[in-house]
Amino acid sequence: MQKLVGFMEENYSNPGLRVNDLAEFMNMSRSVFNRKVNGIMGISPIEYIKNYRLNKAKSFIQSGMSFSEVAFAVGFSDPGYFGKAFKKAFNQTLTEYKNNN
């Protein structure tokens, strides 16, 4: 899975990144890739991509970038969805996170 983490580090900012891209990179069919990621990480590959991006966003928020800039920098094409996903993942709005960290 270290190979996958390296690929994510290089490609997380691409809003077009899809599960098929990860499966192809890992030389697996999508169904086998889904089972492996679920078995190892306990989440679906889609959730893995989203969680990876949201965790990356934390450091960008702390750097002073606007929330829209952060959304685009970590691969979200919709800043509104990014804000909702962040709140769902961390139980804080973007503003609350920025003010508390």
At residue 30 the predicted structure's pLDDT band, cuts being 50, 70 and 90, is very high
Which amino acid is residue 34, in one-letter code? Answer: N
Q: List domains and CATH numbers for the chain.
A: 2-100 (1.10.10.60)
Q: Say how far apart CA 60 and CA 37 lie, in whole Å.
A: 27
Quick check: 60 and 94 in contact, CB under 8 A? no
Of 21, 40, 17, 39, the C-alpha closest to 30 is 21
| Digit-coded pLDDT (tens) for 34-79 | 999 999 999 999 999 999 999 999 999 999 899 999 999 999 999 9
pLDDT at 1: 77
Residue 26 scores a pLDDT above 80: yes
Residue 95 scores a pLDDT above 90: yes
Cβ neighbourhood burial of 14 (10 Å; 0-12, 13-18, 19+): exposed
The two tokens of residue 62 are 């702390």
Mean per-residue pLDDT over the chain, rounded: 95
